[in-house]
Amino acid sequence: MFEVVVRTICSFIVLLLFTRILGKSQLSQLTYFNYVTGITIGSIAANTVLEKHIPLHEGLISLAVWTGLAILVSFWSLKSAKARVILDGEPTIVIKKGHILEEAMRALRINMDDLSMLLRTKNVFSTKDVDYAILEPNGELSILLKPSIQTVTKKDLNIASSPSLYMPSEIIVDGSIVEKNITELGLSYEWLYAQLHQANVASIKEVFYAEVQSDGTLYIDRRDDYKAKP
């Protein structure tokens, strides 16, 4: 039992370290290569913990080697466009100017049921609304709707729009000020307290959630205990 605990702790620490080294791209760009890499590293870590006939140091070395190879391949793909195509594939057009490209679908081994499902995940329920559809290397479907279906923007209507002052960010969560966001947005506590005073909020503890909006206003959601009774 003690040996299993030690092996688990060691594998956990090493796995945590290596996942940090691999970076967020392992999640944000989940290509087939990243998918296989994640499964393999997890499998090696599990075997290192449970298979007692595998020496602990050999399991950790295997994790280190696999992580090193993954980093090396990622660096290679950054430097070479051909490597990116080999490792991750390339985007494939499956609908072009409103027409479904059957050859492309056969090459990708997807059928109309698969395509319809991918379209529905983008809130598109009819292929006739699609001008272009591109299947990305990570399996996501990117869609360009036909001009007649696209949402009208302020630019289309020649309506002036004011630039955003801030990225909407939480300022108070569960009665506590998020100091990091206050600093990053260049705001002051005096400004925050002034905003709360204008909203008739006597104490930070009355606020369950507060968020700075893009126009500089403060959205405030009070705790249930402090909300006005109807």
CATH number at residue 138: 3.30.240.20
Specify which residues 95 forms β-bridges with: 100, 133
**Domain match, 82 and 98 both:** no
Report residue 141's pLDDT band, with 50, 70 and 90 as the boundaries.
very high
Within a domain: residue 121?
A: yes
Last residue of a domain, one of 67, 86, 105: 86
Which is higher by pLDDT, 153 or 109?
109
Distance between CA atoms of residues 117 and 124, nearest Å: 9
pLDDT, residue 219, reads: 93
Within a domain: residue 164?
A: no
Within a domain: residue 161?
A: no
**Domain match, 59 and 106 both:** no
Within a domain: residue 155?
A: no
User: Can you list the positions of beta strands (E) in 53-199?
Assistant: 92-96, 99-100, 130-135, 141-145, 169-173, 176-177
**Domain match, 25 and 57 both:** yes
Average pLDDT rounded to a whole number, residues 137-147:
87
**Domain match, 103 and 138 both:** yes
Last residue of a domain, one of 65, 86, 107: 86
pLDDT, residue 194, reads: 93
**Domain match, 27 and 61 both:** yes
Within a domain: residue 173?
A: yes
| Model confidence pLDDT, tens digit, residues 183-222 | 989 999 999 999 999 999 988 989 989 999 988 899 999 8
Report residue 38's pLDDT band, with 50, 70 and 90 as the boundaries.
confident
How high is the mean pLDDT of the chain? 82
The number of folded domains in the chain is: 3
pLDDT, residue 163, reads: 77
**Domain match, 55 and 126 both:** no
Last residue of a domain, one of 86, 116, 132: 86
Q: Which residues contact 204 (CB under 8 A, 6 or more apart)?
A: 172, 175, 176, 177, 196
Within a domain: residue 162?
A: no
Q: Which residues contact 25 (CB under 8 A, 6 or more apart)?
A: 34, 74
Report residue 160's pLDDT band, with 50, 70 and 90 as the boundaries.
confident
**Domain match, 7 and 79 both:** yes
Residue 59 has pLDDT above 70, yes or no: yes
Global pTM exceeds 0.85: no
Distance between CA atoms of residues 94 and 106, nearest Å: 10
pLDDT, residue 31, reads: 64
pLDDT, residue 21, reads: 67
Within a domain: residue 30?
A: yes
pLDDT, residue 121, reads: 92
Distance between CA atoms of residues 210 and 175, nearest Å: 9
- Boundaries of domain holding 173: 169-226
Report residue 227's pLDDT band, with 50, 70 and 90 as the boundaries.
low
Percent of the chain past pLDDT 90, that is, above it, reads: 23
